[in-house]
Structure 1
Amino acid sequence: MIQLPDKFVEKMKGLLGDESDAFLKSYEEDRALGLRINPLKADPGEFVRQSSFLSEPVPWASEGFYYQAGQRPGKHPYHEAGVYYIQEPSAMAVVELLDPMPGEKILDLCAAPGGKTTHIAGKLKGKGFLLSNEIHPARAKILAQNVERMGIGNSVVTNEDSHSLSLKFPEFFDRIVVDAPCSGEGMFRKDEAARLEWSPDHVEVCARRQREILENAAGMLKSGGTMVYSTCTFSPEENEQVIESFLISHPDFSVVDKGERPGLSHGMPKWSKYGSEDLKKTFRIWPHQSEGEGHYLAVLKKEGDMVSERKRSSPAYLKDKVIWKEVELFLKELLADPEVFLDRKEYILFGEQLYLLPPEMIDLKGIKVIRPGLHMGTIKKNRFEPSHALALSLRKEEVLSWAEIPANHEDIVKYLKGQTLSAPFSWPVRLDKKGWVLVVTDGYSIGFAKLAAGILKNHYPKGLRWM
């Protein structure tokens, strides 16, 4: 039995009235479990037809599905390959309401651990630019790891506060997600720490911080752009009242009514008991009404016409011809069509680490960058060693040499544990010549190995290896 804070129970009874009994009873029930298919890796429909553990679709998320308690999709090779992201079902609604389009510039301002960011990246289909920011350094590193696992090449991960970013990116983004840090009331069923930390004073502290973050986000949005504000809490102080205060001080913003969009209104009732007509266009997801935890969402539009891009300085791209020669040689030996990478110019060096930046990324000076783009690999003496991120961004048909290990074969576990694999191989391979080989499982890239004398030397990262 979950022990809820007494003042929280009292507050929710006042807020919900006759519905409070059903709401409180929901805490005695098992929570819904969900995951979202990564379209950069797999076709959602095809994957679901082949899957043995997915059940019903999440009604408000085109790539989201429920799975049953007792199943462990996080301990499957497909998870390591980035085929899906395990995500609380209600949280999937945020990016569906944002509705990002390929080619746009998107900001995920409070992005860790990566659910919204990886969802946005799937919608962008590799086209456009995604800035994924997290203020807490440890969480920013987790965010970067999830960006890598999902094979995302057009995201830059930063570790900044919202004010610093607003100075660097004025009126830069087409769409912004502000999934604001909150008191976490909607997560009480799954997060004991949120229950223990909760207090009325903590709610007020969160509300002040949310107003500040939203203010900074507004300055980074282009005229005509869209912003989604969301929390995983029930407190009007952190939800409707934050939006109401923001609208008063920003008459160039208005609430967008997304309720008529097919699929999105199902399970996401509008809040009709509090606030103005504008606030009745915002969304509440309740655990006693939907198969998901508590969530609040508001879609905001910045009035005005899109203006032409202002000129901004670009990063200092790689110009060292000796280094580039090694990279060029590697790409020609690995890829069926190396020109996909050779035609790009947006390469930079962070020490010995080579990254390929999204073309839209501006000068990096003055901001803390955790991941400046796609990590290509490491420049070592007289050679180039590819990164795990590069492997996860590739498909089998894009490389000259690959090894296809079925997900149910014992050798995929050996690979994930860092063990060497020796010929004769009992699964399909195409080995062009000795050197780097892309390891795939059921068609999904999962890492690199290096072929020499009939042996595939394991290059799965030590920090990710199964025990």
Structure 2
Amino acid sequence: MKLPEEFLNRMKALLEETEYEDFIKALSGPRSYGLRVNTLKIPVGEFERITEFSLKPVPWSNDGFYYKEDDSPGKHPHYYAGLYYIQEPSAMLPATVLNAQPGERVLDLCAAPGGKTVKIAADMQGKGLIVANDVNPDRARALVKNIELFGIRNAIVTVEKPERLALKFENYFDRILVDAPCSGEGMFRKDEEAGRSWDKYKSDKCSLIQKEILNHAASMLRPGGFIVYSTCTFAPEENEQQIAGFVKEHRDFYICDINMKNVSGLDRGRPDWCGGFAGIEETIRLWPHKIEGEGHYVALIGRKEISRGSVAASETVKKEYAEGSAISTFNKWDTGNKVKNDFIGKDAFLAFMNENLNIKIEGYFQRHGDNLYCLPVKAPDLTGLKVAKFGWYLGSYKGNLFEPSHSLVTALKMDDFKRSINFSSKSLQILKYLKGETLMIDGDTGLWAVCVDGHTAGWGKQMGGTLKNLYPKGWRKMR
């Protein structure tokens, strides 16, 4: 692998000779592979019990593991059931440090493809609100798919520039993750194209964009809240210098200690790379020559409380947006301007639930055109924003009938359905199902939840001993 000469010269100037040699050697060595268990669907211990992979814990993640390359977890039926997200081990740190809590309002500002959003959602346990944003429509589509695959019920997806979100969400969020666009030097070992395109995206260009994003994030954070800033690059201009400059300009923000001193291999931010700025040593660097991973930088920044009154106000917000404040089904039916007759919509959805589910779906409902969405909390005002997903997408209306979505089945458990069929992950039937083939099974006519090892994977429709395959065509297993 050929690395950019300018990059090599800079790193040689920054690192002592021995460390530089170790760093370059690591970039020439084998990469690490990781997956994070989706605890929305399965506890870590249960996954360890049923998995066929040889796993080793990632030290800075309570649900992350290294796997061997030849395990190929992206081809396993458990992946199609949303039991784990495949993620580079270093990239697991930012959302872990964010430490999102149930009932909070959380913004993932540069969210695609969604790995960090999935972790945030698992930590929030379906309570509170996530706004996951990406400015790129193509990347936002991948974000929506991952949110639906992994059974997330409390996320809105926007496709906006940070400055437009800032106009709508001033002082709104409890926590914000800024996994900033960067020069991607931590991708060199993983992706040779990153090295070839480095000159196009190098630090002097990225640092200006990062500063602008951080400034907009700051305006959206409530007093007493926290921002995690992260990059997958090694350049001080995008890391220590970025954070030092931000805190100098924003006197109501401060650098927080990331309490991971007992985790082996984690390095501290380097004050000597940003003029000796106090507090930078509380940030974290992951280096490929010190840990099993590609490398990352993570900073935790807090915003000071304005007064005791603001503390009380923030606690009120948390109570207001806890799941317990969402009332029972259809007591809050927000149809917006596009729906002329919500009674027909309610009746059809209630009929679907009575026919197919053992539970009642509760929350705040919105109908946008023919599509029905639900959130555990009341949705914020999204007027004027580009929205790719208004919450948990439940399905769509075809005339007077309600047709459930794939994301409805993936967010529920096998026992939530009146009719379900469970296949072993080793069975030929589940492989046929994931490839879109028709299955022959006996049972009652109607919709069935198709499951793998007790976890929902998709819908099938039983008619006359044949299970029509309703697994989405674009999601099917190709080999």
Q: TM-score range by the shorter chain?
A: over 0.9
Distance, in Å, in 2 between the alignment partners of 1:236 and 1:454 is: 63
> Do 2:42 and 2:83's aligned partners in 1 also have CA atoms closer than 8 Å?
yes
Residues 14-53 of structure 1 mapped to structure 2, 5 A cutoff: 14-18=13-17, 19-53=19-53
Q: How big is each residue's C-alpha offset from its partner over 1:368-393, in whole Å with a ceiling of 9 and x where there is no partner?
A: 11111111111012321110000100
Query: What is the DSSP-based 3-state SS (H/G/I as helix, E as strand, rest coil) of the residue aligned with 2:311?
Result: coil
Residues 171-210 of structure 1 mapped to structure 2, 5 A cutoff: 171-199=171-199, 202-210=202-210
Distance, in Å, in 1 between the alignment partners of 2:251 and 2:264 is: 30
Query: What is the DSSP-based 3-state SS (H/G/I as helix, E as strand, rest coil) of the residue aligned with 2:69?
Result: coil
Residues 304-315 of structure 1 mapped to structure 2, 5 A cutoff: 304=305, 305-306=310-311, 308=313
The amino acid that maps onto 1:144 is: V
The residue number in structure 1 matching 2:222 is 222
Distance, in Å, in 1 between the alignment partners of 2:414 and 2:95 is: 29
The residue number in structure 2 matching 1:404 is 422
Residues 205-284 of structure 1 mapped to structure 2, 5 A cutoff: 205-259=205-259, 261=260, 265-272=263-270, 273-274=272-273, 275-284=276-285
The residue number in structure 2 matching 1:369 is 387
Distance, in Å, in 1 between the alignment partners of 2:351 and 2:54 is: 43
The amino acid that maps onto 1:287 is: P
Shift of 1:315: 6.0
TM-score normalised to the size of structure 1? 0.93
Q: How big is each residue's C-alpha offset from its partner over 1:89-120, in whole Å with a ceiling of 9 and x where there is no partner?
A: 01111111111111111100000011110010
Shift of 1:250: 0.4
Shift of 1:465: 1.6
The residue number in structure 2 matching 1:453 is 464
Q: Does 1:415 align with 2:413?
A: no
Distance, in Å, in 2 between the alignment partners of 1:466 and 1:186 is: 30
The amino acid that maps onto 2:452 is: T
The residue number in structure 1 matching 2:105 is 105
> Do 2:335 and 2:367's aligned partners in 1 also have CA atoms closer than 8 Å?
no
Gaps of 5+ in 2: 322-332
Q: Does 1:443 align with 2:454?
A: yes
Task: Give 1:385's match in structure 2, choosing from 403, 424, 434.
Answer: 403
TM-score normalised to the size of structure 2? 0.91
The residue number in structure 2 matching 1:298 is 299
Query: What is the DSSP-based 3-state SS (H/G/I as helix, E as strand, rest coil) of the residue aligned with 1:144?
Result: helix
> Do 1:77 and 1:441's aligned partners in 2 also have CA atoms closer than 8 Å?
yes
Shift of 1:197: 1.5
The residue number in structure 1 matching 2:289 is 288
Query: What is the DSSP-based 3-state SS (H/G/I as helix, E as strand, rest coil) of the residue aligned with 1:160?
Result: coil
**Segment drifting more, 208-217 vs 314-323:** 314-323
The amino acid that maps onto 2:296 is: H
Shift of 1:75: 0.6
Give the aligned length.
452
Query: What is the DSSP-based 3-state SS (H/G/I as helix, E as strand, rest coil) of the residue aligned with 2:258?
Result: coil
> Do 1:315 and 1:364's aligned partners in 2 also have CA atoms closer than 8 Å?
no
> Percent sequence identity over matched residues?
44
> Do 1:355 and 1:372's aligned partners in 2 also have CA atoms closer than 8 Å?
yes
Q: Does 1:321 align with 2:321?
A: no
The amino acid that maps onto 2:21 is: D
The amino acid that maps onto 1:295 is: H
The residue number in structure 1 matching 2:165 is 165
Distance, in Å, in 2 between the alignment partners of 1:3 and 1:307 is: 56
Gaps of 5+ in 1: 425-430
The amino acid that maps onto 2:473 is: K
Shift of 1:335: 1.0
Query: What is the DSSP-based 3-state SS (H/G/I as helix, E as strand, rest coil) of the residue aligned with 1:70?
Result: helix
Over 3 Å counting, the alpha-carbon distance change for 1:193 and 1:303 in structure 2 is: same
Distance, in Å, in 1 between the alignment partners of 2:279 and 2:66 is: 32
The residue number in structure 2 matching 1:144 is 144
The residue number in structure 1 matching 2:59 is 59
The amino acid that maps onto 1:271 is: G
Distance, in Å, in 2 between the alignment partners of 1:135 and 1:216 is: 14
The residue number in structure 1 matching 2:377 is 359
> Do 2:240 and 2:269's aligned partners in 1 also have CA atoms closer than 8 Å?
no
Query: What is the DSSP-based 3-state SS (H/G/I as helix, E as strand, rest coil) of the residue aligned with 2:430?
Result: helix
The amino acid that maps onto 1:386 is: P
Distance, in Å, in 2 between the alignment partners of 1:226 and 1:110 is: 16
Distance, in Å, in 2 between the alignment partners of 1:97 and 1:266 is: 16
Q: Note the aligned Cα RMSD (angstroms).
A: 1.8
The residue number in structure 2 matching 1:427 is none
Shift of 1:307: 5.2
Distance, in Å, in 2 between the alignment partners of 1:74 and 1:200 is: 31
The residue number in structure 2 matching 1:130 is 130
The residue number in structure 2 matching 1:466 is 477
